[in-house]
Each structure stands twice: as structure tokens, then as C-alpha cells.
A and B are shown apart, each in its own frame.
Chain A
Amino acid sequence: MKDFEKVEGKKKNKEVVLYALSTCIWCRKTKKLLEELEVEYKYIDMDLVDDEEKYLAEIKKWNPDCSYPTMVIDNKKCIVGFQEEEIKKEFA
């Protein structure tokens, strides 16, 4: 399993990194919403990563609870959970 997967999209003006779990329904909803909004993003399914420690410190920096999904935008803003309205507004 390679680490980050890139999903192509028309909206490329923001750098979007999504930390997710392959089994999590809220993470799936978040991925689907980003695709509907045609946002280009990269994601990592943390339950499929061999060395999760490598990423946990970075996630903790943005979200001390280390919960999923954690979305980091332009390395300056973070949205935790499937916050449908907030995500739509962010990429409107």
C-alpha cells in the first residue's frame, strides 16, 4: 500500500490533505463530497498504512484527538469530521 493517493479534480487552488480510515463511513462521505465538489485532494487511509507513527504526529498537530476524517487545507486550516456545510462553504 503506497501512502498518499491523489484524486484529480478541477478545483486545484487549495492544497487539501485528508487523513482517513478505509472502514469509516464519515471518511467515505467526506471523500465523496470532495469529489462532488470537484476538489483535487490527496488522502491517506491510516488503517492501511504500515507505519502509522510516521503520520500521527502531523495529525495530532492539527487535531489532538487524532480522529478521522481530519482535513488539512493549505497547511493552515483544519476541518475535523464530516462537516458538510463547512466543507461546501470552504470550496464554494
Chain B
Amino acid sequence: MKTKITIPQEEIDKEYKKLFDEAESGGYHLNPDVEFTKALVEGLLVNTKRYGYPACPCRLATGEKDKDLDIICPCDYRDPDLNDYGTCYCGLYVSLDVVQGKKKISSIPERRKKTMEEKRDVSTFNLEGLKYPVWRCKVCGYLCARDNPPEVCPVCKAKKERFERFI
């Protein structure tokens, strides 16, 4: 039985502050519409309680972490959506243009299914001559050449499980 979860306001405010500081220090921006953004932060906290991880509040999670990895916030689609629409899918993160009021955001198309169908096949790459495989952080694009991906992305702090073999 799934029930509606409520989050105390101070918990939402605290998480909002944390996400705001993390975003700004990493060159990202939270949506300046604070009421809107706090509603999304509440959704993230509800999902953390419900699933054990902060799945995107605007997508239906399965509850199986392996299947939901790409939609754990920040999702794999944030950067391309910021680039194309000035906002991520749910509207938590926006581009500088939006923060400065030069651009308005709206509900954007879902790229998840299309992106998953287009998954790159690394087996076709010529790996000869490469001393190490190259790993890519699916959240921020950080690349590193080493035997295994790092425990935590040194740039955006995403966990090891968010890395993919790139080359």
C-alpha cells in the first residue's frame, strides 16, 4: 500500500539550501522560482523516503534502483536538456539565461526513452593501443582513463554506479 508522504517544511528548506549551494559551486543553477523549486525538493525527499534514492519527482520510478539510476537527481538528461531548453525535465535546474530572466521555461519533452534506444555500442571501437579504458560520468560528462571508474565523480560527486564505459 503506497501512501502519501509529507515532509516537514524545515527539512525541505534545509535540502533546498544544500542543493542550492552544491549547484552554484558546480556551475549549475537552481530554478529561481523558490516556491516552485521547493515543491520539487519536497518531491525529491518524498522519493528518497519512498524508494531510498531521490528519483526525479516528475518521472515514475520503478523502485528498483538499477532500473532508475538514470533518473536519480541530477538525472543523466539534465545537461542536454539545459542545453536545448534552458531547464532540466522537472525544472529544478535551469540555465543562466533563465536565472537572469532572459528566458522563460515551460514543460519540456521527455528524452529518456529516445536516449536509451540510442545507447552507444562501445564494442565497435578499436581499443588496441589504449592502455586504459575511458570512463564517463553520465551526470556531468567527466572522463577519466583508468582501470575502473572512481568511487565518486571528483567533479559532480555522482556515485560510481553513474559511470559508463566510454571508450
Contact = CB atoms under 8 A, between A and B. Distances in A.
Contact of B4 (A48, A65, A83): A48
A50 B1 contact: yes
B110 A67 contact: yes
A54 to B, nearest CB: 13
Contacts of A64: 113
A24 B2 contact: no
B107 A68 contact: no
A1 B107 contact: no
B43 A52 contact: no
A25 B43 contact: yes
B57 A25 contact: yes
B57 A21 contact: yes
Interface of B: 1-4, 36, 39-40, 42-43, 46-47, 50, 57-61, 90-91, 106-110, 112-113
Given A22-B4, A24-B58, A26-B90, 8 more contacts: A1-B1, A1-B3, A21-B58, A25-B91, A47-B61, A66-B60, A83-B106, A84-B106
